[in-house]
Structure 1
Amino acid sequence: MLLGSVLNPINSTIISVALVPIGRALGAPSSQTAWLVSALYLATSLGQPVVGRLIDLFGPRRLFLLSTGLVGLAGVAGTLAPNLGVLIAARVLLGFGTCAGYPAAMALLRSEARRTGRDSPGGVLTALAVANQTVAVVGPLLGGLLIAAGGWRATFALNVPLSAAAVLLGALRLPKPERTGPSPRRRPFARLDLPGMGLFAVLLTSLLLFLMNPRPGTWYLAALAAAAGGAFAVREVRAATPFIDLRVLGGNVPLLATYGRALVAYVVAYSFLYGFSQWTEEAYGLTPFHAGLAQIPMFLTAIGVSLVSGRRRGVRGKLLVGAAGQIVACLLMLTLAGQSPLWMLLLVALIFGIPQGLNNLALQNSVYFQADPERIASSAGLLRTFAYLGSMVASSATAASFGQRADTGGMHQLAWVMLVAGVLYLLLTLVDRTLGRAPAPDAPAARQG
C-alpha cells in the first residue's frame, strides 16, 4: 500500500528539480516544460476516480498490478525519449500508471476496518501521509543526485525498479477477489457507467487543457467543458448505477467542502514546489542538487508535524493552522530577491512544511470519515482529482508568471496567486462547522452483520 501510494508523489517531486536541465537539454522554455507537470496530472486527475470506481467494484488487486506495471513502461519511454513530445507522452502514461495506488490503499483500509470493527485506523492513515511526506523529502534531493550522476534521464529510469517492486509485492500480498456464484464478473461489469466515465473524461480534459493555456483562442475548450459538465450531470442523475452519484455527493456538503479545500491547498503547495524550485535554480543560481537540498526543511518539518498530529482527534485545528502557515509563507516569498541570504530561503521552506504536514493528513482523514464506505476508493480518487486540479492551476500560474525565464518578478507574481488561494482555503475552513465531528482515531466501529 505504501509503495503504490508514493509512486505519484515521488515523480511529482523529482521533476521539480529536473525541469530546468530538461529545458536546457531539449531547448524548451519554462512555458513548454510546464507540460511535463501538467501531463502527469491531466492523466492522473482523470484516471484516479475511474480506477477508484473499478476498485470499488472489482477489488484492488488486478487494478493495482495493471497500473503499477504501466509505471515501468513509462520509465523506459521517458529514459529513451528523443524529444519533449515523447517525454510528455511518457508522463501521461506515468500518470495513468500511478492511479491505483492511493485508492487501493484506502479501499483495503476500509475493508480491514469492517473486518476488525475498528472504524478509524489512525496509525495506518498517518503512515500513508508520512510515507508521502518522506518520499517528498527524498524526491528533490534524489532527483538532484540522479541528475548529477546520470543526467535528467535517470529520473525516469528510477521508475523501472520501483514498478517491479510494487508489482512483485502486490502479486504476493494483495488479497485475491472472492468468487461467489457461477459468473462473478458479469454483475460488476453491468454496474460500470461507461457513458458517465466518457463524459467525465471530456469534461476534465477540456477543462484542464483550458487551464493550461487560458486565452481568447482557447475559450472553445471552456465551452466544451461546460457542455460536457451539463451532459454528465444529466446522465449521472438518471443512471441506475452512476459513476459518481451526484445525488449522494450533492447531499454530502462536508465532503464537497473537503474537495474544495484540497483544490486551493494544492494550488499553494504545487506553486511552491515547482515555481520556487525553478526560481532557486534560474534566478538565485543554485544547482539542481542544491535546489533539492533547499526544500529539505519543508519536508522534514512536514514529516514531524504529521507524526505529532497524526493520532490527535479532529481536523479543524489542523486545517486552521495549515491555512495560517500557507499565508505567512506566501507573504515571506514576496520579500525574497536574488540577493536574499540563503537562510531566508530555508526559513520559507521550513514554514511551508507546517501546512504541508497538516493539510495532507487532515484532508485524507476527512474523506475517510465523510465518504460513503461503499465508494471509498472512488471518493479517495476524487480527492486526488481535486488536488490535481489545483496542481494544474498551479502549473498554469507558474507558466504564466515565468514565461521564458523564472525571474524574481515572476516569482512574486506567483506568490500573489498563492496568497489568494491560501486566503480562500482559510475561509473555506472557517465557515465549515462540520469539521469537528470526525470520530477519534481508532474508535470502535459499529459491527455489521
Structure 2
Amino acid sequence: MISKPTQALRATRPAPTGFDRRLIAPMVLGSVLNPINSSMIAVALVPIGIAFGAPPSETVWLVSALYLATAVGQPVIGRLVDMYGPRRLYLIGTALVGIAGVMGALAPSLGVLIAARVLLGFGTSAAYPAAMQLTRSEAERTGEDSPAGVLTALAVSAQTVSVIGPTLGGFLIGVGGWRAIFTVNVPLSVACLVLGALRLPRMSKDKDTAGTRRDVDPPGMLLFAVMLVSLMMFLTAPKLSEWHLPLLSAAAAVAFARRELRVPEPFVDLRVLGGNLPLVTTYIRQFLGYTTSYAFLYGFTQWLEEGRGLHASAAGLVLLPLSVTALGVSTLTGRREAVRAKLLVGSVVQIAGCAVLFLVGSGSPVWLLLVVGALLGVPQGLLGLAGQNALYRQAEPARIASAAGLLRTFMYLGALAASAATAAFFPHRADTPGLHGLALFMGIGSALLLVITLPDRSLRTLTPKTV
C-alpha cells in the first residue's frame, strides 16, 4: 500500500519510471553536513584549546554541544518531515548550517564557538531524515523496495567525509588556521539550498496544511529534550555535585513515557517501538558501534598530537588508512545488504583493533599507527551500512523519517559517550596510559556489540519486501 506522503509527493512532480535521480545530489550533499563537521573538529581541538587557553575538559564541549543538539534535533525534525514533507525542513536546516559556519569562523571566544556548534547540530538534523523519507517514498512509488544503491550512496558519502574529515581538517588548519574548518559550511550550505530548491518535490496543498499543533506534540518533544540533555550533561562531566542531573533525566523519562502512551499522535510511538524489538536492538547496536568509532576518532587523534607529538596536519595524514579502508569496504559491500554478516565481521575486527591499540606508545613507529587506522577502518565501513539497512527493513514506513532520526540520535549518543570517555581518560592531556584505558573501554563496547548480534535471529530474515 502506498503511503500518504508518497501520494503527496507524486501529485506535485512528473513520475520517472525508476528512482528519481535528481534527488540523489541534494540527499547526499545534505547528509554529509553533520559527518564533515563531526570529524574535522577532531584535529582542531588542540589548536582551539591553545587559542583560547582551554583544557581538553572544556574543548570537549565543542564535540558534546554538536551531538547534544543533533541527538535532540534528529528525531524532532524527523517527525516534522514525516508530517510536512522533506523540502521545507531541508531548506531551513541547511540555511542554519551556513549561518553557523559564519558564526564559528568569527567566534571571539570558546563560548561563542560552542554556540555555533549547537546551531550546526540543529541545522544538520534535517537532511538525513529527509533523505530516508524520500528514499522510502520513491521505493513505494516505483514498486522497487530494494534501493540498495541509494542507501549505499548515503552511507558511503557520510562514511567518506567522516573518515577524510580529519585529513581535510588538518590540511585546512595548516593553510588557514582552525577557523578555516568552519568556513567550509558556507559553500556547502549554498549548494544544498540551490539543489534543494530546484530538485526536492513540493508537498501537495492538502498534505502541506494537514498537520496541526496537536499532531506535532510539543510537550513530548520538550520532555525528550530535557531527558537527553540532562543525562548527557552529567555523562560528559560526571560529578557527585551534579547528582540532580540524572534525577532530572529519570523524571523526564517517566513523564515522557506516560505522555507518549496516552496521546493519540505521539512524538515517539512507544507502543509501536516497544513491539518492535528488532528495531530497538538496532538502535542499541548503533550506539555501541559508534561509541567505539568516535572514541577512536577523537581519542587517537588527540593522542597523535599530544602523546606522539605530531602536528594537526600530520595527524590527519596518519588517519588516511582509516579513510581508505572504510571507503573501500563500504563501496565493495554496499550493494549486498548482508546485515548480520556485516555486524559480526565489524564487531570482531573492532575488538581486534582495540587490542592492537595496547601495543601503541609514544615511540611507536609510524607504520604501526597506520596499521591501527587501517584495521579500525573495516568496522567503520561495515557497521553504518548494516544499521541503516536494518532500520529500512524494520521501521514502520509511515514513520521512516522519525525512525531514521532516532537511529542518528543513538549514533550521536554514542559520540557523546565517546567524548565523555575521552575527557575521563584524558583529564589533562592525551597521554599513552589514557589511550590504553580508552582502548579497554572501546573493547568492552565492541564485545557487547558482538554478544547482542550473535543470538539475534531476526537479522536472518531481513530481506526486500514487496510493496
Q: Which residue of 2 aligns with 1:44?
A: 70
C-alpha distance in structure 1 between counterparts of 2:230 and 2:163, whole Å: 33
Match of 2:445 among 417, 421, 424: 421
Q: Which residue of 1 aligns with 2:276?
A: 252
Report the alpha carbon displacement of residue 314 of structure 1 after superposing the two structures with TM: 2.4
Contact 1:325 1:351 survives alignment (8 Å): yes
Q: Which residue of 2 aligns with 1:138?
A: 164
Q: Which residue of 2 aligns with 1:126?
A: 152
Contact 2:306 2:429 survives alignment (8 Å): yes
Matched to 2:430, the amino acid is A
Q: Which residue of 2 aligns with 1:62?
A: 88
Q: Which residue of 1 aligns with 2:375?
A: 351
C-alpha distance in structure 1 between counterparts of 2:121 and 2:248, whole Å: 23
* 2:252 paired with 1:228: yes
C-alpha distance in structure 2 between counterparts of 1:351 and 1:188, whole Å: 50
C-alpha distance in structure 2 between counterparts of 1:332 and 1:219, whole Å: 37
Report the alpha carbon displacement of residue 138 of structure 1 after superposing the two structures with TM: 2.9
Report the alpha carbon displacement of residue 323 of structure 1 after superposing the two structures with TM: 0.3
Report the alpha carbon displacement of residue 186 of structure 1 after superposing the two structures with TM: 4.7
Matched to 2:178, the amino acid is W
Q: Map of 1:3-152 to 2, 5 A cutoff? A: 3-152=29-178
Cα separation, partners in 2 of 1:259 and 1:240, compared to 1, 3 Å: same
Which stretches of structure 1, 4 residues or more, deviate above 6 A after TM superposition?
A: none
C-alpha distance in structure 1 between counterparts of 2:206 and 2:133, whole Å: 20
**Which has the larger displacement, 391-400 or 190-199?**
190-199
Report the alpha carbon displacement of residue 137 of structure 1 after superposing the two structures with TM: 3.6
Q: Map of 1:181-200 to 2, 5 A cutoff? A: 184-200=208-224
* 2:215 paired with 1:163: no
C-alpha distance in structure 2 between counterparts of 1:46 and 1:129, whole Å: 21
Secondary structure of 2:457's counterpart equals: coil
Matched to 1:144, the amino acid is G
- Per-residue CA distance 1:274-308 (angstroms, 9 max, x = gap): 00000001111111111111111112111111111
Contact 1:314 1:439 survives alignment (8 Å): no
> TM-score if structure 2 supplies the norm length?
0.93
Contact 2:337 2:389 survives alignment (8 Å): no
Contact 2:337 2:386 survives alignment (8 Å): no
Contact 1:75 1:90 survives alignment (8 Å): yes
Matched to 1:121, the amino acid is P
Report the alpha carbon displacement of residue 140 of structure 1 after superposing the two structures with TM: 1.2
- Per-residue CA distance 1:284-339 (angstroms, 9 max, x = gap): 11111111111111121111111111122421011000000110000001111001
Report the alpha carbon displacement of residue 439 of structure 1 after superposing the two structures with TM: 1.1
C-alpha distance in structure 1 between counterparts of 2:412 and 2:170, whole Å: 24
Q: Which residue of 2 aligns with 1:173?
A: 199
Secondary structure of 1:434's counterpart equals: helix
Cα separation, partners in 2 of 1:284 and 1:187, compared to 1, 3 Å: closer
Report the alpha carbon displacement of residue 187 of structure 1 after superposing the two structures with TM: 3.6
C-alpha distance in structure 2 between counterparts of 1:27 and 1:436, whole Å: 52
Q: Which residue of 1 aligns with 2:242?
A: 218
Report the alpha carbon displacement of residue 180 of structure 1 after superposing the two structures with TM: 2.8
Q: Which residue of 1 aligns with 2:462?
A: 438
Q: Map of 1:273-312 to 2, 5 A cutoff? A: 273-312=297-336
Between the two proteins, the alignment pairs up a number of residues equal to: 441
% same residue: 59
RMSD: 1.1
- Per-residue CA distance 1:347-371 (angstroms, 9 max, x = gap): 0100101100000000000000000
Q: Which residue of 2 aligns with 1:241?
A: 265
Contact 1:203 1:229 survives alignment (8 Å): yes
C-alpha distance in structure 1 between counterparts of 2:135 and 2:337, whole Å: 19
- Per-residue CA distance 1:238-261 (angstroms, 9 max, x = gap): 010000000000000000000000
Secondary structure of 2:157's counterpart equals: helix
Return 5+ residue gaps in structure 1 as ranges. none
C-alpha distance in structure 2 between counterparts of 1:202 and 1:138, whole Å: 34
Contact 1:17 1:278 survives alignment (8 Å): yes
Contact 1:57 1:188 survives alignment (8 Å): no
Q: Which residue of 2 aligns with 1:333?
A: 357
Report the alpha carbon displacement of residue 380 of structure 1 after superposing the two structures with TM: 0.3
Return 5+ residue gaps in structure 2 as ranges. 1-26
C-alpha distance in structure 2 between counterparts of 1:322 and 1:138, whole Å: 20
Report the alpha carbon displacement of residue 169 of structure 1 after superposing the two structures with TM: 0.7
Q: Which residue of 1 aligns with 2:21?
A: none
Q: Which residue of 2 aligns with 1:342?
A: 366
Q: Which residue of 2 aligns with 1:390?
A: 414
* 2:2 paired with 1:2: no
Matched to 2:46, the amino acid is V
> TM-score if structure 1 supplies the norm length?
0.97
Matched to 2:413, the amino acid is L
**Which has the larger displacement, 79-88 or 307-316?**
307-316
- Per-residue CA distance 1:132-156 (angstroms, 9 max, x = gap): 1221243111111111111000111
